[in-house]
Amino acid sequence: MKLYYSAGVCSMSPHIVAVEAGLPLTLEAVDLKTKKTATGKDFNQINSKGFVPCLELDDGQLLTEGSAIVQYLADLAPASQLAPANGTFERVRLQEWLNYITSEMHKGIGQLFNPKMPDDYKVVVKEMVGKRFDWLSQQLDGRDYLMGKQFTVADAYLFTVLGWTNWVGIDLSKWPVLTAYQARIAARPAVQKAMEAEGLKKAA
């Protein structure tokens, strides 16, 4: 399988999941401004949506949308326990988390990267994100991970999105539960390996 990615963006989530699951993965970086891949391909010809992540399967099929990709990868390695089994209520809970992260966190924080956004509207967005962080802190208080004691694909996704706060002027230290959660996930060997592969941390 090949993952088309850009360092630090939402494609890091499936990257982390693949490493956690022990799945072999080829990486190809994409310049999101020029839409060119590291090997010179036109990324728009690969994924007409123009966004990462994009997972190319061994049979040539393509999967886009991070929430779908991470569940697919988790189901390839059920022993990793990165997602509850399909058909269980726990799987629906996982999907509930993935949908929340996509709609409320990813889209909320992600829009702050728009250089054309007026400063006064950025204030409004950051206030909205802060309320989401308040709620997340309540949910994570006393828990190791979103689903309890077990790390899942939802944690890989939330960790990725929380990392963007450094780039958009949100001080995550206001939410100590979230900073502790972020540090706990960052310490996982698979997460460190994925970050290193994307050039986001120095090799030990």
Tokens 């702050």 -> residue:
112
Looking at residue 204, what is its pLDDT?
Answer: 42
Residue 31's H or E segment, with its range, is strand 26-31
Q: Please report the pLDDT score of residue 201 as a whole number.
A: 74
- Give me the percent of the chain exceeding a pLDDT of 70: 99
183: its two tokens: 């540090």
| Cα separation, 76 vs 190, whole angstroms | 17
- Spatial distance between the Cα atoms of 204 and 192, rounded to a whole number of angstroms: 10
pLDDT for the residue numbered 188:
97
DSSP letter at 42 equals B
User: How do the pLDDT tens digits run along the chain, 204 residues long?
Assistant: 999 999 999 999 999 999 999 999 999 999 999 999 999 999 999 999 999 999 999 999 999 999 999 999 999 999 999 999 999 999 999 999 999 999 999 999 999 999 999 999 999 999 999 999 999 999 999 999 999 999 999 999 999 999 999 999 999 999 999 999 999 999 999 999 999 999 987 544
Residue with tokens 């022993």: 79
Q: Which domains does the chain have, with CATH numbers?
A: 2-80+190-197 (3.40.30.10), 89-188 (1.20.1050.10)
pLDDT (tens digit per residue) in 48-77 = 999 999 999 999 999 999 999 999 999 999
Distances (CA, A) of 78 to 17, 20, 98: 12, 11, 18
